Amino acid sequence: DAGVTQSPTHLIKTRGQQVTLRCSPKSGHDTVSWYQQALGQGPQFIFQYYEEEERQRGNFPDRFSGHQFPNYSSELNVNALLLGDSALYLCASRGVGSGNTIYFGEGSWLTVV
């Protein structure tokens, strides 16, 4: 049973560019959330997708957007990258069969230079 998978693992972007991060949820999970973790901090909730719609959003600007596909996989897009967007981006999934337990992927390390 594959867990939550994310790609790419590491990437370096230039300030002002755009980035897309991808996530495949754990098998059987239909709800995907994204979190940003800055160095030395706990993860911060960005948004959640269920049934291909954004259901909840944290305190992040509109430069952060997402999408969920019919197969439940998801993308996180960040436009007009700032140096402060450098962080570990974590995808999490939950769904029927795992109760309320939320599972995380290995994350995508984004460096903005």
In the list 25, 43, 66, 95, the residue contacting other proteins (rule: CB under 8 A) is 43
In the list 76, 81, 92, 112, the residue contacting other proteins (rule: CB under 8 A) is 92
Residue environment code for 30-59, b if the CB has 16+ CB neighbours within 10 A, otherwise e: bbbbbbbeeeeeebeebbbbbeeeeeeeee
If binding is defined by CB under 8 A, does position 56 make contact with other proteins? yes
If binding is defined by CB under 8 A, does position 14 make contact with other proteins? no
If binding is defined by CB under 8 A, does position 73 make contact with other proteins? no
Question: With respect to other proteins, which residue has the nearer C-beta, 32 or 78?
Answer: 32
